[in-house]
Each structure stands twice: as structure tokens, then as C-alpha cells.
């Protein structure tokens, strides 16, 4: 049997090599017409230069070094999702991942071409898998656990000390992550005009960063809920250590099971986890939790309105490998759901997508600097490369404005603005 297997293995290798060469040619063909930069592919077969190699049009020069020819099969079968997985496997590396992401976003038509052909087969399989990650009460707990229960110590490696896993608010590129994160928390509190004695409900505790800040600096009472057991455990400990047990009530409940009415409401980058079909239920619950004169603020990652339907029908790298069950809403989709399901009015909206790019850059720099510490925690190279790709993938998207992040200030019918209007300027100092 050994003698028979040897020539068969050799034949398989020849066949695989032929297939890889063919798929390499198809990828190069698909990338013809690359603009606004250049991409150099370097592999065992040589070097291919694509796009504007020189001149003013070359906004980015990216070198892609292919370490394993199976990269071409991964892209052919699963498009950009396959490329991300191949990066995690070490089959290719790049001199600047963020520049690569930006270049691909600028050439979206070519990127869409990559998702065609055989990749449609992989795409159909991924859509079927994603459909099984429905955000029912049970499904939501499973999906949240897959991301947020990776380990509190892991997230602490790259987040700021307040453990806010959401966009900070930068007013100057030289801001530190800590300063920008605190500025974001203050911006939310000021937009809500929080005052001592306010009863606030928060949907999506995270690790307690907002609840602690609002209770400590604004004197309000915060009821906050999460369905992540890891987050609940650490948030509970942080609240106790801060001596704020009397001002913060921490729940381990699905937001759909909350009751009561509150003066103010906050939900920071939680809407992305609910699933598109539950948008009306989400906004209905927001409206029900607020008093007739209540005000709420939603911080949400957003996608361009004209791309929402396409994105909803597809499974990208994040849905498949990072955050199962997630989606990115568009502003129009959220406003339509809000109008359908509640009496809330949008009274203020602010986009600060560039701040998210800077936040992600800070996270990625810290993440790379703590790589050995993450390995010591038990995470393998493939997992860490997957996260490196994820952070760069998102940073490039925000820099190119294919995704954004917004504050939506929502008011009940009896709510009225203060003398300064509905929202204090985002950079206003805390009193």
C-alpha cells in the first residue's frame, strides 16, 4: 500500500499545483483595473504588479507575499472570508494590512468580482451557517459567548483601563486612548443631560465602563444588563471595588425581558448583536423602557444605506470568524424600525467614524505589543493572526468611510431640550 500511495501523492501534488496556478491567474485577471494604488503579489512563481505602481494616483503601495499557494484556493472558494482565514493560517502576509483593506474598499467592484465564481458556493454555505446563528434568547447567549466570553484577561490586553470595547472620541490625533475613551463617556452623559438622581437603564453592560462612569461622575442610578457571564462576573467585581453597589444594579438578563420605566437610556454598540429581524423589537423595547419625557442614546456602527441590503444578504469575515449572529445596521434601517415600533423621535445624530479608526489603531498597536502575553494566556498563533486581521479590516473600513459610527439621541414625545439644545458639543468638558 505504501508503494501505491507514493505516486498517487505525487499526482495529487501536481494536480494541486496546476489548480493553484490556474486560480492564481484568475485572481490576477480579476484584479486588473485596480486603481488608487498598487498591489504587488509575490509568490513562488514570481512577481505580479497590479494597479498604479507610480504617479499621483498611487495612494497606497501594498506588497502581498504568498507563503502557501493554497491561498489562491481559499480566495477562489470563499472570497475575502477565505483570504482572512488564509492570513490566520499564515499562508500570506502583507507589509501593511490597513493599506490593503483601504485599497480593496476603494476598488469595491473588483472586490465584488472576487466574491463571484466558485466563491458563491462557499458564500451559500456560509449564509446557511449564519442562518443557524439566529438571535433568539438562546441563540443570543450563544453568539455573545462566542465573542465576549473569550476571556476578560484577553480583552484587557488591548482595551483602555475602563474596558470600553467601543469607539472612543478623538479630537486630536495625539490624544491617548484613555483620554479619548473618557471623552466619549462624557459626551454621552452630557447629550443625555444626566443629573444626580436620574434613573438610567443601559442595554449592554460590557465590563461596566459606562455604568461606573455615570454613577461616579454624574450621581445617577444605573440599571445595566448583559447576557455574557464573563462580562457579568468582572463588571460585578468592578462595581463592588468602586463602592458603587448602591448606585449600579447589574443584571444577567436579555434586554427583551427588562421592565420598568427610566428617565434615560443608553445602548453602546449593542444593536449590532441583535440581528436585523429584531430591529423593531429592539426599538420597541427602548421606547417602552423610557418615561413619557425620557431620552435615550444609541451608539451604533453603521453601514452605507445603499449597501445595507447587500451586506445583510452576505456573510463577511466578521460574521463568520469573529462575531457570529452580528450585522451592521444602516441609519435608514434603524430609523425605519424606530418609526415602525415606537414613538421615539430622532433629535440629534453625530457620526464620528474617523474616531473609530483611531480607536482601532490604538487597540491594534496594543494588541501587537502584547502578543507574547496573549500566547502566555493560551491563545495560539492562528487565533491571534485572526484578530490582527480583524482589527486591521475594521480600521481600513472606517478610514474609507464604508462603515461609520453614530450617536443617535432619541426623545419621547414629552421630552424637551435644555437651553443649550438637545445635545451638548461632544468635546465639552465635564463640569
Task: List 66's β-bridge partners, or say none.
Answer: 92
Sign of the CA dihedral 309, 314, 320, 325? positive
Degrees, nearest 5: CA angle 288-290-291: 110
Cell of 91: 499562508
Cell of 313: 444578504
CB-based burial label for 158 (10 Å; 0-12, 13-18, 19+): buried
SS3 284: helix
Counting runs of H as helices and runs of E as strands, what totals does the chain give?
A: 17, 11
SS3 121: helix
Task: Count CA within 13 A, CB hemisphere, residue 169.
Answer: 18
Cell of 200: 438610567
Residue spans of alpha helices (H) in 157-224: 177-191, 209-218
Say if CB 190 and CB 428 are below 8 A apart: yes
Say if CB 229 and CB 149 are below 8 A apart: yes
**Cα(297)–Cα(302) distance, integer angstroms:** 15
SS3 7: helix
Task: List 203's β-bridge partners, or say none.
Answer: 225
Cell of 81: 472570508
Sheet of 221-225: strand order equals 248-251, 221-225, 199-203, 262-268, 290-303, 403-411, 345-351
Say if CB 355 and CB 405 are below 8 A apart: yes
Active site (annotated) includes residue 220: no
Say if CB 299 and CB 166 are below 8 A apart: yes
SS3 346: strand
> What are the residue numbers of the active site?
394
Amino acid at each position: 500500500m505504501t508503494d501505491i500511495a507514493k505516486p498517487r501523492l505525487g499526482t495529487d501534488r501536481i494536480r494541486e499545483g496546476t489548480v493553484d496556478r490556474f486560480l492564481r491567474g484568475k485572481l490576477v485577471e480579476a484584479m486588473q483595473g485596480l486603481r488608487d494604488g498598487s498591489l504587488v503579489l509575490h509568490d513562488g512563481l514570481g512577481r505580479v504588479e497590479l494597479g498604479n505602481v507610480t504617479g499621483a494616483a498611487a495612494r497606497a503601495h501594498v506588497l502581498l507575499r504568498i507563503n502557501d499557494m493554497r491561498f489562491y484556493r481559499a480566495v477562489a472558494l470563499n472570497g475575502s472570508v477565505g483570504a482572512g482565514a488564509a492570513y490566520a493560517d499564515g499562508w500570506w502576509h502583507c507589509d501593511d494590512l490597513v493599506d490593503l483593506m483601504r485599497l480593496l474598499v476603494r476598488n469595491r467592484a473588483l472586490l465584488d468580482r472576487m466574491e463571484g465564481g466558485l466563491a458563491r458556493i462557499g458564500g451559500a454555505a456560509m449564509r446557511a451557517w449564519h442562518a443557524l446563528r439566529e438571535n433568539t434568547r438562546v441563540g443570543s447567549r450563544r453568539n455573545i459567548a462566542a465573542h465576549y466570553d473569550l476571556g476578560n484577561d484577553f480583552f484587557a490586553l488591548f482595551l483602555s483601563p475602563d474596558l470600553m470595547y467601543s469607539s472612543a472620541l478623538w479630537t486630536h490625533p495625539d490624544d491617548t486612548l484613555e483620554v479619548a475613551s473618557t471623552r466619549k463617556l462624557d459626551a454621552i452623559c452630557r447629550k443625555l443631560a444626566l443629573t444626580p438622581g436620574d434613573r438610567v437603564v443601559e442595554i449592554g453592560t460590557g465590563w461596566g465602563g459606562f455604568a461606573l462612569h455615570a454613577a461616579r461622575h454624574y450621581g445617577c442610578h444605573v440599571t445595566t444588563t448583559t447576557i455574557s457571564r464573563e462580562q457579568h462576573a468582572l463588571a460585578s467585581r468592578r462595581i463592588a471595588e468602586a463602592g458603587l453597589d448602591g448606585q449600579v444594579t447589574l443584571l444577567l438578563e436579555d434586554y427583551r425581558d427588562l421592565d420598568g420605566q427610566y428617565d434615560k437610556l443608553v445602548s453602546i454598540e449593542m444593536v449590532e448583536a441583535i440581528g436585523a429581524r429584531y430591529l423593531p423589537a429592539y426599538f420597541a423595547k427602548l421606547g417602552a423602557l423610557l418615561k413619557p419625557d425620557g431620552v435615550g442614546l444609541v451608539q451604533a456602527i453603521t453601514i452605507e444605506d445603499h449597501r445595507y441590503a447587500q451586506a445583510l444578504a452576505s456573510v463577511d469575515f466578521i460574521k463568520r470568524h469573529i462575531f457570529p449572529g452580528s450585522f451592521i445596521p444602516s441609519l435608514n434601517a434603524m430609523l425605519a424600525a424606530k418609526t415602525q415600533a415606537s414613538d421615539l423621535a430622532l433629535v440629534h445624530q453625530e457620526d464620528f467614524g474617523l474616531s473609530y479608526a483611531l480607536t482601532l489603531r490604538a487597540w491594534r498597536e496594543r494588541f501587537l505589543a502584547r502578543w507574547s502575553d496573549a500566547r502566555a494566556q493560551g491563545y495560539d498563533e492562528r487565533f491571534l493572526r485572526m484578530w490582527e486581521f480583524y482589527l486591521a479590516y475594521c480600521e481600513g473600513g472606517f478610514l474609507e468611510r464604508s462603515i461609520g459610527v453614530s450617536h443617535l439621541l432619541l426623545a419621547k414625545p414629552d421630552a424637551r431640550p435644555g437651553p443649550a439644545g438637545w445635545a451638548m458639543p461632544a468635546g465639552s468638558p465635564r463640569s
